[in-house]
Amino acid sequence: MENYYQKEIETADREQILAWQNERLVRQVRRVWDHVPYYRAKMEEKGVAPEDIQSVEDLHKLPFLTKDDLREAYPYGLLASPLKDCVRIQSTSGTTGRRVVAFYTQHDIDLWEDCCARAIVAAGGTDEDVCHVCYGYGLFTGGPGLNGGSHKVGCLTLPLSSGNTERQLQFMVDLGATILCCTPSYAAYLAESIHERGLRDQIKLKAGIFGAEAWSEQMRQDIQNKLGIKAYDIYGLTETSGPGVSFECSEQTGMHINEDHFIAEIIDPDTGEVLPEGSKGELVFTAITKEAFPLLRYRTRDICVLSRKKCSCGRTHVKMSKPMGRSDDMLIVKGVNVFPSQIETVLLEQGYPANYQIIVDRIKNSDTIEVMVEMTPENFSDNLGKITEMEKALVSALKAMLGIYAKVRLVAPKSITRSEGKAVRVIDKRKI
């Protein structure tokens, strides 16, 4: 028996969804044209006017937005509502050079929480449930999003936020949490801790909603077996609101995109051409109901496939596969966006050569990042203390830039592997 949070929307037929999309897109383009000079200039540059957009068919005429645009327009350049109507921001964690700040009106928060509520109900949540949220609260969208969704469903919400595993387990056991929301790596860690402490018989979890980072089918099986739950994927990005842009249903074969709020396209990342249905390419979103921060044709850089195959859950909204990779060099480590260029900036500032290698790994289901840097004659000293001090300064500068701890490893000159004269910057050893 499948449950829905907004049945008439989630199971609407294709024509109805298209009708919503057409109407909302036309209105949104006009709003953006009127209120966002930054995007209007991009449209003018491309020779597109609001009248040219009559339906979803015309979407491809609009210019793309990228993370670079967000940086250029930072902080208020893409805002489409007056400040008096905005009530909240959320932001990507710790990425100084490329920080994304997204704005919300009360209406935006309302719709975002609806999206998260759909995900919770799809995972079997009802107002009888106790929903344990250990995504971070604060700037990160994970905690606030699922927290709001949980309220909407009427679950008893445990706003634990991240960290402090002992406390997490105590609340989980004492209050009988039934739904767990966190990153998949933290879920795996909690599963391990529950196993070690022999608490398996004392927990009442039945489902988990895990997102904000890539995870494999193997990891899903592992978490499901260890906790005796069903583990659901959820997808989203700060730029488009946060988690809940798409979510898994009981079929667990992809995530339904909330098409009444977002139009999804798959493009060729090199040419920008829209690809036919079923092709693998870069996912692009157009937010058609957002007020404060309505991004049109935002390039997510996530590579995936869309499918309109009929779903056994009864939902009619298009499904996206788990992201299979990135069309840029961004890494997601511990749920945080990391660009090699940020690391390079820090190295140069600290007097190291731009000759480095980033090694990302997943050890015991937790991401690790290590930066290998070649020693230089200028940085070398016969005094070991001076070298370790420099190393510590580099570690703190990286932490300040990335928002997460990165281990630094000083290596001998010319020991970083080069292929065809070009250094291999990133080695991702994670098996996802």
Partner 1 sequence: MTIPQISVFLENKAGQLADITAILSENQVNMRAISIAETADYGVLRLIVDDAPKASSILLEHGFILTMTPVVGVAVSDAPGGLSGVLGVVSRAGIDVEYMYSVFGQKDGRACMIFRVADTDVLTALLKENGIDLITGEDLGIH
Which positions lie near partner 1, rule CB under 8 A? 375-377, 380-385, 387-388, 409-415
Smallest distance from the beta carbon of 409 to partner 1, in angstroms? 5
Smallest distance from the beta carbon of 360 to partner 1, in angstroms? 18
Smallest distance from the beta carbon of 398 to partner 1, in angstroms? 16
Smallest distance from the beta carbon of 140 to partner 1, in angstroms? 32
Q: Which residues contact 33 (CB under 8 A, 6 or more apart)?
A: 39, 40, 43, 49, 50
Nearer to partner 1, 312 or 381 (CB): 381
H-run or E-run covering 298: strand 298-307
Structure tokens at 118: 């759909």
Burial of 57 (0-12, 13-18, 19+ CB in 10 A): exposed
Structure tokens at 132: 């344990």
**288: closest CA among 15, 73, 22?**
22
Nearer to partner 1, 41 or 423 (CB): 423
DSSP assignment of 337-376:
EE-HHHHHHHHHHTT--S-EEEEEEEETTEEEEEEEEE--
The answer to whether the beta carbons of residues 408 and 399 sit under 8 Å apart is no
Nearer to partner 1, 231 or 347 (CB): 347
Smallest distance from the beta carbon of 336 to partner 1, in angstroms? 24
Structure tokens at 394: 């580099």
Nearer to partner 1, 363 or 384 (CB): 384
Nearer to partner 1, 173 or 411 (CB): 411
Q: How far apart are CA 292 and CA 103, in angstroms?
A: 6
Smallest distance from the beta carbon of 367 to partner 1, in angstroms? 20
Q: How many CA atoms lie within 13 A of 122 on its CB side?
A: 34
Residue type present at position 265: E
Nearer to partner 1, 89 or 411 (CB): 411
Cα angle: 161, vertex 338, 343; to 5 degrees: 130
Nearer to partner 1, 1 or 384 (CB): 384
Smallest distance from the beta carbon of 413 to partner 1, in angstroms? 6
